[in-house]
């Protein structure tokens, strides 16, 4: 049987293939290795970022727990629900009603009764318990009438910040306003008040 003779051109092709094949295999292996290294680096970078974020979050949580560890659990009752509302209007009405030189005014007397029954009362919802804290949803049992000074005092005591002459009070728990609605309500000819409805989330740390 006679085999076909290799021409110089075919021989060159075969030799070139034999020489290049190992090189191509090495290059391919090198690329695969580099791709794996890149993927590993990306994974390590992502894990490092997650670890850093977790550490920052844990540190922030620890600072928050430390800040509120001495919080008064009855703060809402003592410092917010106790706020007397519409004090200026009450004083004016009382002077007007008690003035013997003026004829009795049923509207003023009725307005005083409304102010007497206008006070802050929060109702507690279902408690959510977590490993390190408990959450208490709190909502006003009914909307209340307030003036500008009342609003500043309420927000100062809930947010724990100083607003003009209203200073933040100590032993405040972590309070988060989840809903707040203000509607302007006109009372009489010259007096304007707001109708406030509010929901809070009170967080008490257990560890």
Highest mean pLDDT among 19-23, 46-50, 74-78: 74-78
**Average pLDDT over every residue of 194-199:** 95
Amino acid 96: pLDDT: 80
Q: Give yes or no for residue 184 having a pLDDT over 70.
A: yes
Better-scored residue on pLDDT, 205 or 82: 82
| Contact call for residues 78 and 140 (beta carbons, < 8 A) | no
Which range is least confidently modeled, 64-73, 120-129, 167-176?
64-73
**Average pLDDT over every residue of 52-61:** 66
List, for residues 71-115, the tens digit of each pLDDT value: 898 999 999 999 999 999 999 888 887 776 666 678 888 989 999
Better-scored residue on pLDDT, 37 or 172: 172
Sequence ranges of the domains in the chain: 7-67, 75-205
**Average pLDDT over every residue of 156-181:** 90
Amino acid 10: pLDDT: 66
Better-scored residue on pLDDT, 69 or 141: 141
Query: What tokens appear for 120 in the block?
Result: 């802050």
| pTM tops 0.75 | no
Confidence of residue 58 (pLDDT cuts 50, 70, 90): low
């Amino acid at each position: 049987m006679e085999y076909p003779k290799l021409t110089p051109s075919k021989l060159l092709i075969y030799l070139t293939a034999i020489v290049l094949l190992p090189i191509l295999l090495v290059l391919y292996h090198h690329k695969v290795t580099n791709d794996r290294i890149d993927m590993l680096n990306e994974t390590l970078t992502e894990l490092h970022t997650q670890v850093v974020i977790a550490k920052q979050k844990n540190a922030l949580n620890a600072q928050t727990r430390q800040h509120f560890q001495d919080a008064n659990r009855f703060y809402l009752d003592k410092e917010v629900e106790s706020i007397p509302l519409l004090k200026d209007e009450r004083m004016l009405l009382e002077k007007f009603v008690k003035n013997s030189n003026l004829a009795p005014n049923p509207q003023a007397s009725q307005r005083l009764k409304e102010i007497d029954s206008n006070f802050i009362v929060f109702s507690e919802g279902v408690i959510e318990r977590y490993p390190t804290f408990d959450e208490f949803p709190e909502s006003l049992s009914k909307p209340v009438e307030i003036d500008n000074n009342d609003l500043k005092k309420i927000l100062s005591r809930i947010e724990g910040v100083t607003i003009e002459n209203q200073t933040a009070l100590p032993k405040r728990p972590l309070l988060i306003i989840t809903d707040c609605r203000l509607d302007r309500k006109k009372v009489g000819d010259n007096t304007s008040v707001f109708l406030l409805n509010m929901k809070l989330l009170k967080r008490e740390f257990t560890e």
